[in-house]
């Protein structure tokens, strides 16, 4: 059974780098890994997507090792506004999109 597992919650402090890891042991060859951010009473918002190695954009980096059994979302120098729920999602072009249960990230001053 394909599963996507991530920690339920994490705490950190302003200015720190935060790494959230997602486990996806049975990842399929065609699956991409995508991370979303969700604030209360809003829909999830796309952060970053990758297939292998490292991807970086203006808000985050995504590290995917060669075996692709896990992925790590890295948020550099977080602020209070980064407090949100972060979802890991795997999926392929056949719409088999599997979401993790989400990681509640709390940033403290």
Partner 1 sequence: NAGVTQTPKFRVLKTGQSMTLLCAQDMNHEYMYWYRQDPGMGLRLIHYSVGEGTTAKGEVPDGYNVSRLKKQNFLLGLESAAPSQTSVYFCASSPRSDTQYFGPGTRLTVL
Interface stretch with partner 1, choices 13-21, 62-70, 72-80, 96-104 (CB under 8 A)? 96-104
- 48 to 67: interface string for partner 1, x by CB under 8 A: -x------------------
Q: In this structure, what DSSP letter does residue 74 have? A: E
Question: In the complex with partner 1, which residue's Cβ is closer, 6 or 70?
Answer: 6
Residue of 57, 74, 60 lying closest to 22 (CA atoms): 74
Interface stretch with partner 1, choices 12-20, 55-63, 70-78, 87-95 (CB under 8 A)? 87-95
User: What are the Cα distances from residue 38, in Å, to 65, 90, 100, 108?
Assistant: 25, 17, 13, 18
């Amino acid at each position: 059974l394909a599963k996507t597992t991530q920690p339920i919650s994490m705490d950190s402090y302003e200015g720190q780098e935060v790494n959230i890891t997602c486990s996806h042991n049975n990842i399929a060859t065609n699956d991409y890994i995508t991370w979303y951010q969700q604030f209360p009473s809003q829909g999830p918002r796309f952060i970053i997507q990758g297939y292998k190695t490292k991807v970086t954009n203006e808000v985050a980096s995504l590290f995917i090792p060669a075996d692709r059994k896990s992925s790590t979302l890295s948020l550099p120098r977080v602020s209070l506004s980064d407090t949100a729920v972060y979802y890991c999602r795997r999926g392929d072009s056949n719409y088999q999109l599997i979401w993790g249960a989400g990681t509640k990230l709390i940033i403290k001053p």
